[in-house]
A and B are shown apart, each in its own frame.
Chain A
Amino acid sequence: MIRLLGISCVAVLSALALSGCDAVRRTPAAGGSGKVIEVAVFEGGYGIGWHQKVAAKYSAMHAGDGIHVDLWGDPRVAEKLKPRLLRGDPPDVILLWGMPVWMLVGAGKLCSFTEALNAPGYGTHTPWRELFIPGTLDMYASNGGIYALPSAFAAWTCWYDERMFGEHGWKIPKTWTEFDGLCKQIEAAGIAPLAFQGKYPAYAWNTFFSLIQRCGGLGAINRLNALEPGAFSHPDVVWAARLMQEMAVRHFQKGAMAMTHTESQLQFVNGQAAMIFCGLWLENEMKQSTPPRFEMRCFNVPAVEGGKGNPALFNGEGAEWICVPTDARNPKEAIEFCRYLVSLENAPDLGSSISEISPLRGGTPPSAVSPGLQCVLEMMKNAPGIFTVRLHLLLLEWNNQVLNPALATLLRGEVTPEVFCKRLDDGMAAARANPDIIIPPSVPYDLAKFGETP
């Protein structure tokens, strides 16, 4: 009996010990006086190979100082890090995919990069801040602090197959009327003009606010970012919603509202649909399924005739955000590693290794990326700047419960653009009234600097 009791106790203790494991990797203790910088990276479509390569290079360069970068990745990194952030034991650097950044900022869990950004970038005398593409640092800027840095660049464009366009003699549209005409031409050829990731109505959000800029200029974008009452019901925004709805009802592929992103993107690369609005990850995401003859290219959202927006501007932002938690064991060393990670030295390899564009100006040479991404570099060359909206990141509940369902009803043609915009305004008003939501002051775009009339 005593033996049985002993065995049972061991079993129970083992079970408890196992249940205590949260499957989170721990940083090995550094030997001697050395320091280990633990870096946790989201392991998505781009993998972590490039990050590991940079980490290994950095460790080799600083072997003499006893600094070693221990970089690990996981597709569910956010879930693994939340408990560590809560108990004050986070990694030194986090690639913030799927994390509630503004909540972390509000809870004082993230270091500001402001001081580091004013110091020279890695390998240059230019302040690090000035190396970034203007606007890419705004997403997580608040009260003079910058709490997350982009390690890549993202943009929202319309993708097409150049070979298909060439075979049919279709031209890239410069204006919304031309775009509508092109869709009609495509339809006449028996092809669906536009694939759409309908199971995620949020995919329409980026196209929608691109159209808001085209119709109402950056003034309209500034009003949205400032959460101004009635910002969505402004006639320019209602106009953009109408264009969005007409495009969806007339030109979306049949059944698109029931398609996932992979289904709809497959329709696009298989030639069932001629175009698709998507981010820069599209090419990489569909690499395995894209036929060899497919010539993926993209163009900027066309200008809207009579609109106030500068059509050269494009919907772009920083991506693959990195941060340093305030509870990190080695925050100073962590920021130095970030400076190396997002440097002109590593930027070309980011393009050639994993087809990502660097957030640093001129960081990605055209030769480092595919012809599809070269189109984006060309857009960047011609654009005085980029714009984005951060509402959906600030107002998580509004995003889930108001924006996404409202977008779905707009795209299905079930509500008028006016009703749609009023819903967004009402939801935003409710969110503004919630004292628990952190709403940092917005960073308005300077219209004149971006080639628009104030």
Chain B
Amino acid sequence: MKNRREQRVFIAVFLSPALLLFTVLVAIPSVRALGYSLRQWDGLSTPKWVGLKNFAALLRDTDLFWAALQHNLFLMAVGGALTLFLSLFFAAALHRRVRGTALFRVAFFFPNVISSVAIALLWVLLYSTTNFGVINSMLMEARQALASLGLPWPAVDLPFPFVDSKYLIYSIVPMMVWTATGFYMVLFLAAMENIPETFYEAARLDGASEFAQFWYITFPLIREVFTVGVVFLVIGSLKLFDIVWVMENQQPTKESHVLATVLYQKVFTEYNVGYGSAVAVLLFILVFLATLVTLRLSRKEALEY
């Protein structure tokens, strides 16, 4: 009896700091954000109760809220799909023991050890329209090479303004893929390495091609990890902030906004705390629903081996 009570105290002692910090720094601010979303407040005067007015305004805001949501969804769909495809492809290739596996693993994972702000700044330089811009310099070289062969260059002016607000969301896709592929590749590879080699040996004896082995053995057996990867990507794409914020120099426009940058701009530069909090609440609901849907869609009995 005494032992059980001691055990409970012991657990409580170890849980309480984390619980306290979570309550103070996450739970209470979240509930307060919900309260602010129902008020009109500039952060200085007395808040005014407005009910669902902020949500109504937000849902009517095609220029901002819906445009930002579209950008999030575009990044989720295109960036996410490309990331998943490439990470699966590379993981499968490494799993099948391509030469230099260790080197590739490190090289692909490398972007994950760099902070997202540094990555954004790095890509701003790569995309630069000045002499520093490696990508534009390469495109110009390519144009010259084509011209020397008498071939036409597509009707695109160079240097191309990749980080102009108008093109920014598209320009983020390669960066997102470059950054995220390594992480998901390692995640999938770890799952693949748990699959017993005997399965592949049996499949080979039956004459299964490499693709068939992947499709009928590898993928079904890593499906659970793949689902986790999809959930991560969905959450990451909806919560995206830092990259857009840095690449837009803290001044995104409706052409480049994502939900999190709308939230920040509304609260901290326009002092519309109510509207910004409404964005935060909707963002939470969206992330929650998207995760739920992803998990539901991929729900299948787990294969045991």
Interface residues on B, range: 35 or more
> Quick check: is A386 within 8 A (CB to CB) of the other chain?
no
Contact assessment for A258 and B272 in the assembled complex, using a CB-CB cutoff below 8 Å: no
Q: Whose C-beta in chain B lies nearest to the C-beta of A436?
A: B40
Chain B positions 88 through 129: 1 when the CB is less than 8 Å from some CB of chain A, otherwise 0: 000000000000000000000000000000000000100111
> Quick check: is A374 within 8 A (CB to CB) of the other chain?
no
Chain B positions 12 through 28: 1 when the CB is less than 8 Å from some CB of chain A, otherwise 0: 01101100110011000
Contact assessment for A404 and B253 in the assembled complex, using a CB-CB cutoff below 8 Å: yes
**In the docked arrangement, what's the CA distance between A264 and B40, Å?**
40
Q: How far is the CB of B6 from chain A (nearest CB, A)?
A: 6
- Counting residue pairs across A and B whose Cβ atoms lie within 8 Å, the total is 117
Contact assessment for B251 and A200 in the assembled complex, using a CB-CB cutoff below 8 Å: yes
Chain A positions 94 through 134: 1 when the CB is less than 8 Å from some CB of chain B, otherwise 0: 00000010011011010000000000000000000000000
Residues of A within 8 A of B130 (CB): 255, 259, 263, 266-267, 272
Q: How far is the CB of B191 from chain A (nearest CB, A)?
A: 37
**In the docked arrangement, what's the CA distance between A258 and B131, Å?**
13
Residues of A within 8 A of B127 (CB): 258
Partner of A12, one of B6, B20, B131: B20
Q: In terms of DSSP, what is the predominant structure of the interface of chain A? A: helix
Q: How far is the CB of B134 from chain A (nearest CB, A)?
A: 14
Q: How far is the CB of B36 from chain A (nearest CB, A)?
A: 14
**In the docked arrangement, what's the CA distance between A106 and B130, Å?**
44
Contact assessment for B128 and A263 in the assembled complex, using a CB-CB cutoff below 8 Å: yes
Q: Whose C-beta in chain A lies nearest to the C-beta of B128?
A: A263
Contact assessment for A5 and B13 in the assembled complex, using a CB-CB cutoff below 8 Å: yes
Segment from A45-53, A352-360, A393-401 that makes contact with B = A393-401
Partner of B254, one of A85, A259, A401, A412: A401
In chain A, residues 339-392, which have Cβ atoms closer than 8 Å to a Cβ of chain B?
none
Residues of A within 8 A of B64 (CB): 401
> Quick check: is A15 within 8 A (CB to CB) of the other chain?
yes
Given the interface pairs A257-B161, A405-B254, the reply to whether A1 lies near B9 with Cβ below 8 Å is yes
Residues of A within 8 A of B42 (CB): 100, 103, 107, 436
**In the docked arrangement, what's the CA distance between A263 and B125, Å?**
10
Q: In terms of DSSP, what is the predominant structure of the interface of chain B? A: loop
Q: How far is the CB of A433 from chain B (nearest CB, A)?
A: 13
Contact assessment for B24 and A19 in the assembled complex, using a CB-CB cutoff below 8 Å: yes
Q: How far is the CB of B133 from chain A (nearest CB, A)?
A: 8
Contact assessment for A86 and B43 in the assembled complex, using a CB-CB cutoff below 8 Å: yes
Chain B positions 147 through 190: 1 when the CB is less than 8 Å from some CB of chain A, otherwise 0: 00000000001111111111000000000000000000000000
Q: How far is the CB of A56 from chain B (nearest CB, A)?
A: 33
Contact assessment for A400 and B270 in the assembled complex, using a CB-CB cutoff below 8 Å: yes
Contact assessment for A199 and B44 in the assembled complex, using a CB-CB cutoff below 8 Å: no
**In the docked arrangement, what's the CA distance between A82 and B20, Å?**
26
Contact assessment for B43 and A199 in the assembled complex, using a CB-CB cutoff below 8 Å: no
Partner of B17, one of A8, A201, A397: A8
> Quick check: is A61 within 8 A (CB to CB) of the other chain?
no
Contact assessment for A107 and B16 in the assembled complex, using a CB-CB cutoff below 8 Å: no
Given the interface pairs A12-B20, A396-B269, A405-B254, the reply to whether A82 lies near B129 with Cβ below 8 Å is no
Partner of B255, one of A106, A272, A405: A405
**In the docked arrangement, what's the CA distance between A396 and B45, Å?**
17
Residues of B within 8 A of A199 (CB): 163-165, 248-249, 251
Contact assessment for B21 and A15 in the assembled complex, using a CB-CB cutoff below 8 Å: yes
Interface residues on A, range: 35 or more
Q: How far is the CB of A430 from chain B (nearest CB, A)?
A: 11
In chain B, residues 41-71, which have Cβ atoms closer than 8 Å to a Cβ of chain A?
42-45, 63-64
> Quick check: is A11 within 8 A (CB to CB) of the other chain?
yes
Residues of A within 8 A of B158 (CB): 254
Contact assessment for A255 and B43 in the assembled complex, using a CB-CB cutoff below 8 Å: no
**In the docked arrangement, what's the CA distance between A16 and B64, Å?**
38
**In the docked arrangement, what's the CA distance between A173 and B10, Å?**
81
Q: Whose C-beta in chain B lies nearest to the C-beta of A109?
A: B44
**In the docked arrangement, what's the CA distance between A171 and B207, Å?**
81
Chain B positions 261 through 289: 1 when the CB is less than 8 Å from some CB of chain A, otherwise 0: 00001000111100000000000000000
**In the docked arrangement, what's the CA distance between A203 and B21, Å?**
43
Q: Whose C-beta in chain B lies nearest to the C-beta of A8?
A: B13
Contact assessment for A86 and B44 in the assembled complex, using a CB-CB cutoff below 8 Å: yes
> Quick check: is A408 within 8 A (CB to CB) of the other chain?
yes
Given the interface pairs A405-B253, A405-B255, A412-B166, the reply to whether A11 lies near B17 with Cβ below 8 Å is yes
Contact assessment for B249 and A200 in the assembled complex, using a CB-CB cutoff below 8 Å: yes
**In the docked arrangement, what's the CA distance between A131 and B121, Å?**
46
Q: How far is the CB of B67 from chain A (nearest CB, A)?
A: 10
- In this complex, which of B16, B42, B160 has the most chain A Cβ atoms within 10 angstroms of its Cβ? B42
24 contacts between A and B (CB under 8 A): A4-B10, A5-B9, A8-B14, A8-B16, A12-B17, A19-B24, A103-B43, A107-B44, A107-B45, A109-B44, A199-B164, A199-B248, A199-B249, A255-B129, A255-B136, A257-B161, A257-B166, A258-B128, A258-B164, A259-B130, A400-B251, A401-B64, A436-B40, A436-B42
**Chain B residues at the A interface, C-beta cutoff of 8 Å:** 6, 9-10, 13-14, 16-17, 20-21, 24-25, 40, 42-45, 63-64, 124, 127-131, 136, 157-166, 248-249, 251, 253-255, 265, 269-272
Q: Which 3 A-B pairs have the closest CB atoms?
A: A255-B129, A258-B161, A255-B159
- Known contacts A11-B17, A199-B164; can you find 18 more A-B pairs with CB under 8 A? A1-B9, A4-B13, A15-B21, A100-B42, A103-B45, A103-B271, A106-B44, A107-B44, A198-B164, A199-B165, A255-B161, A258-B128, A258-B163, A397-B272, A400-B251, A401-B63, A408-B253, A412-B164
